């Protein structure tokens, strides 16, 4: 398994479990209220969201294949910046709102049933909840460093589906609190690496060349970034064997920005939020 596969596995597992929670909560609630027949529209919404997400990934790869040289560097740097933004937003959103995920989805189901039009209502409810995570995953997989991410993506999503089945089909308790805590830390480190890589791409393209700064050090001799442990660290944590000043400044600045955000009201209500959202129905 390549370094790209490892980062893809982590990203797909995290995003996949969030999608599995959405589908599982809605399916389980429909069973509780005696509307099992409507579950087919939930699955239809999930499948449609998966199709749109795959289409988004295909479009990104097709666009990238059309670019070369400076244009390719600018395109890749831009997608890395977008991925950094969406990943950071997702982490903070989950920390703040995960406690309300179950109740909001159940309320959405109740509203759909009360208004009639169950088919389209459930379809759209699940579609928009899942496609948000799916398109975000597509962007992250495209922006993540490394090659050969297919195997890791498939394994990560398969594991996520397995966790969803254990929770909602067999009623097993899974310690998702620890999982979300650990993966949140990894995702923040991953986002910092993307932000640093974006700065590097823009410097290489000439947009930030005047402030690129000097080469600070090199660890190529004992930890190359294109093989072994170095490639894994690059894929997951943004490691660079020969960073310039702008890359280190971008890496550190990202953590400063996250720390400042954590001190605002945007994140403070999030105590035990993720844990509350992962209780079985």
Distances, alpha carbon 159 to alpha carbons 4, 166, 212, 262, in Å? 17, 10, 41, 30
pLDDT above 60 (res 160)? yes
For the segment 137-165, the average pLDDT, to the nearest whole number, is: 91
For the segment 87-116, the average pLDDT, to the nearest whole number, is: 85
pLDDT of residue 23: 92
Distances, alpha carbon 5 to alpha carbons 72, 151, 156, 183, 264, in Å? 23, 6, 9, 16, 35
pLDDT of residue 280: 42
pLDDT bracket for residue 171 (50, 70, 90): low
What is the tens place of the pLDDT at every residue in 230-255? 999 998 888 999 999 999 999 999 99
How many domains are contained in the chain? 1
Q: Which domain holds residue 89?
A: 3-277
pLDDT above 60 (res 268)? no
pLDDT bracket for residue 174 (50, 70, 90): confident
For the segment 99-119, the average pLDDT, to the nearest whole number, is: 84
pLDDT bracket for residue 14 (50, 70, 90): very high
pLDDT above 50 (res 183)? yes
For the segment 201-220, the average pLDDT, to the nearest whole number, is: 93
What is the value of pTM for the model shown? 0.86
pLDDT of residue 265: 67
For the segment 204-211, the average pLDDT, to the nearest whole number, is: 92
């Amino acid at each position: 398994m390549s370094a790209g596969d490892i980062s893809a596995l982590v990203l797909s597992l995290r995003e996949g479990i969030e999608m599995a929670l959405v589908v599982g909560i809605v399916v389980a609630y429909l069973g509780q209220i005696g509307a099992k027949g409507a579950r087919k529209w939930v699955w239809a919404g999930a499948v449609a969201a998966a199709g749109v997400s795959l289409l988004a990934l295909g479009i990104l790869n097709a666009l990238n294949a059309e670019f070369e040289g400076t244009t390719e560097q600018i395109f890749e740097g831009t997608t890395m910046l977008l991925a950094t933004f969406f990943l950071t937003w997702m982490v903070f959103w989950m920390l703040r709102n995960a406690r309300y995920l179950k109740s909001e989805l159940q309320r959405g189901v109740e509203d759909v049933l009360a208004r009639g039009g169950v088919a389209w209502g459930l379809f759209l409810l699940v579609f928009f909840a899942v496609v948000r995570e799916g398109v975000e995953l597509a962007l992250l997989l495209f922006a993540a460093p490394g090659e050969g991410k297919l195997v890791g993506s498939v394994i990560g999503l398969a594991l996520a589906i397995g966790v969803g089945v254990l929770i909602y089909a067999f009623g097993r308790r899974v310690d998702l609190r620890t999982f979300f805590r650990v993966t949140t830390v990894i995702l923040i480190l991953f986002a910092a690496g993307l932000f640093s890589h974006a700065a590097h791409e823009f410097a290489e393209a000439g947009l930030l060349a005047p402030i690129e700064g000097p080469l600070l050090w090199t660890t190529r001799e004992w930890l190359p970034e294109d093989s072994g442990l170095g490639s894994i660290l690059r894929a997951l944590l943004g490691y660079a064997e020969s960073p310039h000043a702008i890359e280190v400044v971008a890496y550190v600045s990202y953590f400063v920005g996250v720390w400042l955000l954590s001190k605002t009201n945007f994140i403070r209500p999030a105590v035990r939020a993720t844990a509350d959202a992962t209780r079985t129905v």
